[in-house]
């Protein structure tokens, strides 16, 4: 007995020796890689982010200071500076590879170059040289220096990220090799030392599994952090399926969300290379299918094999057979304890769905739910802020005496409402006030300030005789408005009768003037500092310029012209080019084209405002009348329009066709858009284009008030018969009817119906 025991003990040692020899290299490898991950790359990654964040703070502070000249912006600049140094020092202490170190060094040099220049500009600003400092901000030399830093920092971060990914893959491989080696060793030892084998397998597998579990939970944590940065619910769903798949080791991940009509809709899907995308995107909740059942009873389901679920839902068995996956898990998705959908996870191979796997799946579903909840809250806040802004911007008012229209375009990326605002009104002396402004910052606060400033302009305007007066007045008004500091504004007093405009730009990009021949120029004769900056300065003077009949004034906010990685001038040039091409179009069409050209191929990162005004005209290419909506107005329009059409030498039938179609649109404007007795206006425009004539009749009539507006009578049918194209657009500001008439070649007979 004792002898056998000795033999057995000797067996243990042999087995242990074999295991040690087989496994040691892998274990050393695992330990090495794990240590690298923990002590080098993890921190390098986070310090790299901190380095960038601190530099961005620096840049924001510096820009803020140079634009507003307020010392409080220097705080983020100084803090950012300090944090960037700390992050850089921490990065230097880590063991980086030569290429990583070189990239980091380049980024540091870039930042130092930017910093040196920024310090000079700040010093210049303090000494009173605003123009040079402004150039650093607006012309973009500062931005280019900073973008160089950003690019090199990104290269560095990418190198670290790629090594991190590589090391992670290595860790997984070595870990699995360790398991394989252990199992092999255990098998050899099995015959001679049952106890040893049991002990060995039991303990090492536990260790390895534990290790992999930890890794999976760390990944889950990473997914949660990454989802927190997503904006919209759709964005969350797409990112969630992409990230959940590798984390769960799954082949198919789908998110189904409940929508009205008792359905589940597929909102996001990830499939590995082995599987095709789903060929159905909606499921009825009334059907018997596992997703609908999970939705109903809110309980997760786990099917180790395809046959298990197939037996329960025979109607779907063929579909799943075709899909080909085996292990299947379904989990309810909840946002704020309210269920909103179902998470479906398929595995290529059968699964045992042990306790750890189930926990991981449930945690994944919980995290996705929480991310949805945050995204939805943000969307709601954004909608609320947008509504507030719309209400504060007010309806497009029709000022007497000239034609104007405007566009407010909220940012397409991010969820912030901006502080762009307009104001247009006719003053007692007959002049027209135009104002476009931009409040510093975003969100509800900016929108509120915007509304207050807009009201401030309305209140001040009747008491002021010039833009310069008005600016002083709103400057004083804004002194008690904390959010108004640094607001930029462009103001103009348009004198249609004397063909003059007096204007002023307080920190705002200069407006543009297009003369009736299509020549575009910048109104940059009166550039001055923004609101609420310094009350000890002298009065800011406006500039006056000629405004021949039919001139077009174009006011905008920087969101229309500013792009990242691009100096402001490039954007303004783009706007000038668009105006040179489209200047002669009726106002609504002109605005549509300008906006299209401004954002061609890029998303709006900031909100943008555009306000255009054209004075009345009857020139070779242009026609614009602003008329009181009264019955005899139609005849006045017709008389003028006949005069405008005369040089085109149309046949009398062609001329009658245009006059009747325009008359129909005017009749609608007069008869339907205005309640009797109100002092309403409508606008008639016509332009001669290369192909023919475009006419637009716009009124401020609210469509809802007159649901039958065009159903009544034959107005639309007549316009469609006589014109080549008729478009009726109902916007929040009113209704615009656009008529296009192609000028035919003289040898082509006019067909009479």
Partner 1 sequence: MNPSFSLDVSRSGEVSVARLAGDVDLANVGEIEARLADGAGGTGAMVIDLGRVSYMDSTGFGMLERLSAMRPLQVVLPPGALVHRAFAVTGLAQLVPVFDTLEDALKAR
Residue 560 and residue 607 in contact, taking contact as beta carbons nearer than 8 Å:
no
Identify the residue among 667, 724, 740, 744 touching partner 1 (CB under 8 A): 667
CA distance 180 to 186: 10
CB-CB neighbours of 12 under 10 Å: 17
* Residue 714 within binding range of partner 1, rule CB under 8 A: yes
- Count of residues touching partner 1 (by CB under 8 A): 26
* Residue 660 within binding range of partner 1, rule CB under 8 A: yes
* Residue 699 within binding range of partner 1, rule CB under 8 A: no
Q: How far is the CB of 720 from partner 1 (least distance, A)?
A: 8
* Residue 643 within binding range of partner 1, rule CB under 8 A: no
* Residue 514 within binding range of partner 1, rule CB under 8 A: no
CA distance 175 to 199: 19
Nearest to 713 by CA among 752, 655, 670, 652: 670
* Binding window for partner 1 (CB under 8 A); candidates: 519-527, 597-605, 650-658, 689-697: 650-658
Distances (CA, A) of 620 to 372, 550, 617, 662: 58, 11, 9, 18
* Binding window for partner 1 (CB under 8 A); candidates: 60-68, 99-107, 427-435, 710-718: 710-718
Identify the residue among 269, 671, 685, 699 touching partner 1 (CB under 8 A): 671
Identify the residue among 240, 257, 399, 634 touching partner 1 (CB under 8 A): 634
Q: How far is the CB of 728 from partner 1 (least distance, A)?
A: 15
Instruction: Put the strands of the sheet holding 734-742 in their side by side order.
Output: 617-618, 622-628, 681-688, 692-699, 734-742, 725-731
* Residue 663 within binding range of partner 1, rule CB under 8 A: yes
Extract the tokens encoding 645.
């059409």
Q: How far is the CB of 661 from partner 1 (least distance, A)?
A: 9
Residue 698 in 3-state DSSP? strand
CA distance 189 to 182: 10
Identify the residue among 652, 676, 690, 711 touching partner 1 (CB under 8 A): 652
CB-CB neighbours of 228 under 10 Å: 13
Residue 511 DSSP label:
P
* Binding window for partner 1 (CB under 8 A); candidates: 110-118, 383-391, 495-503, 714-722: 714-722
Q: How far is the CB of 337 from partner 1 (least distance, A)?
A: 59
Q: Site map for partner 1, 575-614, x if CB under 8 A?
A: ----------------------------------------
CA angle 224, 225, 226 (to 5 degrees): 90
Q: How far is the CB of 726 from partner 1 (least distance, A)?
A: 12
Q: Site map for partner 1, 717-746, x if CB under 8 A?
A: xx-xxx------------------------
Extract the tokens encoding 707.
């649901």
Residue 675 in 3-state DSSP? coil
Q: How far is the CB of 554 from partner 1 (least distance, A)?
A: 35
Query: How do the residues of the chain divide into helix, strand and coil, expressed in percent and rounded to 5?
Result: 55, 20, 25
* Residue 632 within binding range of partner 1, rule CB under 8 A: yes
* Binding window for partner 1 (CB under 8 A); candidates: 132-140, 184-192, 447-455, 663-671: 663-671
CB-CB neighbours of 295 under 10 Å: 22
Residue 260 and residue 348 in contact, taking contact as beta carbons nearer than 8 Å:
no
Contacts of 271 (CB under 8 A, 6+ apart): 251, 252, 277
* Residue 711 within binding range of partner 1, rule CB under 8 A: no
Nearest to 526 by CA among 467, 460, 456, 465: 467
Identify the residue among 621, 638, 740, 744 touching partner 1 (CB under 8 A): 638
* Residue 715 within binding range of partner 1, rule CB under 8 A: yes
| Binding residues vs partner 1 (CB under 8 A) | 631-632, 634-635, 638, 652-653, 656-657, 659-660, 663-664, 667, 670-671, 713-715, 717-718, 720-722, 752-753
């Amino acid at each position: 007995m004792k002898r056998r025991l000795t033999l057995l003990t000797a067996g243990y040692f042999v087995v242990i020796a074999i295991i040690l020899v087989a496994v040691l290299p892998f274990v050393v490898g695992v330990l090495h890689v794990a240590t690298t991950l923990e002590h080098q790359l993890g921190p390098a990654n986070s310090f790299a982010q901190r380095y960038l964040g601190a530099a961005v703070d620096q840049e924001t502070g510096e820009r803020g200071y140079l634009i507003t000249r307020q010392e409080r912006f220097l705080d983020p600049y100084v803090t950012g500076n300090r944090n960037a140094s700390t992050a850089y020092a921490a990065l230097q202490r880590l063991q980086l590879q030569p290429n990583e170190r070189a990239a980091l060094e380049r980024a540091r040099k870039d930042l130092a170059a930017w910093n040196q220049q920024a310090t000079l500009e700040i010093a210049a600003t303090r000494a009173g040289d605003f123009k040079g400092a402004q150039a650093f901000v607006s012309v973009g030399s500062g931005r280019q220096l900073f973008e160089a830093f950003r690019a090199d920092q990104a290269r560095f971060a990418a190198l670290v990220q790629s090594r991190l990914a590589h090391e992670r893959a290595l860790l997984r491989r070595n870990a699995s090799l360790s398991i394989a080696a252990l199992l092999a060793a255990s098998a050899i030892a099995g015959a001679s030392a049952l106890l040893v084998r049991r002990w060995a397998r039991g303990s090492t597998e536990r260790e390895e599994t534990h290790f992999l579990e930890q890794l999976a939970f760390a990944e889950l944590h990473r997914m949660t952090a990454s989802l927190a940065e997503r904006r919209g619910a759709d964005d969350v769903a797409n990112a969630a399926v992409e990230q959940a798949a590798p984390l769960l080791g799954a082949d198919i991940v789908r998110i189904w969300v409940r929508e009205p009509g008792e359905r589940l809709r597929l909102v996001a899907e990830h499939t590995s290379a082995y599987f095709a995308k789903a060929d159905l995107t909606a499921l009825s909740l009334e059907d018997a299918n596992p997703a609908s059942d999970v939705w109903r009873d809110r309980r997760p389901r786990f099917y180790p094999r395809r046959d298990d679920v197939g037996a329960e839902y025979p109607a779907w068995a063929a579909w799943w057979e075709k899909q080909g996956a085996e292990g299947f898990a379904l989990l309810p998705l909840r946002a704020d304890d309210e269920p909103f959908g179902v998470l479906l996870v398929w595995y290529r191979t059968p699964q045992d769905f042990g306790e750890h796997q189930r926990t991981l799946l449930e945690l994944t579903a919980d995290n996705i739910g929480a991310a949805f909840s945050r995204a939805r809250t943000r969307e709601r806040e954004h909608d609320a802020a947008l509504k507030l802004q719309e209400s504060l911007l007010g309806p497009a008012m029709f000022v007497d005496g000239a034609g104007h229209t405007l566009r407010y375009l909220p940012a397409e990326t991010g969820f912030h409402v901006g502080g762009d605002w307009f104001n247009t009104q006719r003053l007692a002396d007959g002049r027209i006030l135009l104002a476009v402004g931009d409040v510093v910052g975003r969100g509800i606060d900016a929108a509120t300030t915007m509304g207050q400033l807009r009201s401030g302009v309305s209140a001040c305007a009747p008491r002021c005789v010039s833009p310069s007066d008005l600016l002083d007045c709103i400057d004083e008004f804004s002194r008690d408005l904390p959010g108004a500091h640094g607001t930029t504004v462009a103001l103009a007093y348009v004198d249609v009768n004397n063909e003059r405009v007096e204007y002023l730009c307080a920190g705002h990009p200069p407006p543009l003037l297009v003369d009736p021949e299509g020549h575009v120029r910048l109104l940059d004769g009166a550039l001055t500092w923004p609101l609420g900056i310094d009350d000890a300065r002298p009065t800011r003077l406006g500039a006056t310029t000629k405004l021949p009949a039919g001139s077009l004034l174009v006011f905008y906010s920087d969101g229309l012209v500013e792009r990242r990685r691009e100096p402001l001038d490039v954007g303004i040039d783009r706007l000038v080019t668009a105006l040179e091409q489209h200047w002669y179009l009726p106002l609504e069409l002109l605005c549509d084209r300008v906006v299209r050209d401004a954002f061609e191929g890029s998303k709006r990162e900031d909100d943008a405002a555009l306000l255009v005004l054209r004075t009345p005209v009857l020139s070779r290419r242009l026609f614009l009348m602003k008329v009181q909506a009264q019955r005899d107005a139609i005849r006045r329009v017709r008389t003028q329009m006949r005069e405008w059409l005369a040089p085109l030498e149309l046949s009398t039938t062609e001329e009658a066709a245009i006059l009747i179609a325009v008359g129909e649109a005017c009749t609608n404007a007069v008869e339907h858009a205005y309640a009797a007795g109100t002092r309403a206006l409508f606008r008639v425009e016509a332009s001669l284009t290369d192909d023919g004539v475009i006419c637009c009749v716009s009124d401020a009539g609210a469509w809802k008030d007159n649901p039958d507006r065009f159903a009544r009578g034959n107005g639309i049918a007549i316009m469609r018969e006589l014109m080549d194209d008729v478009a009726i657009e109902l916007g929040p500001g009113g209704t615009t009817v656009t008529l296009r008439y192609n000028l035919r070649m003289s040898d082509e007979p006019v067909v009479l119906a």
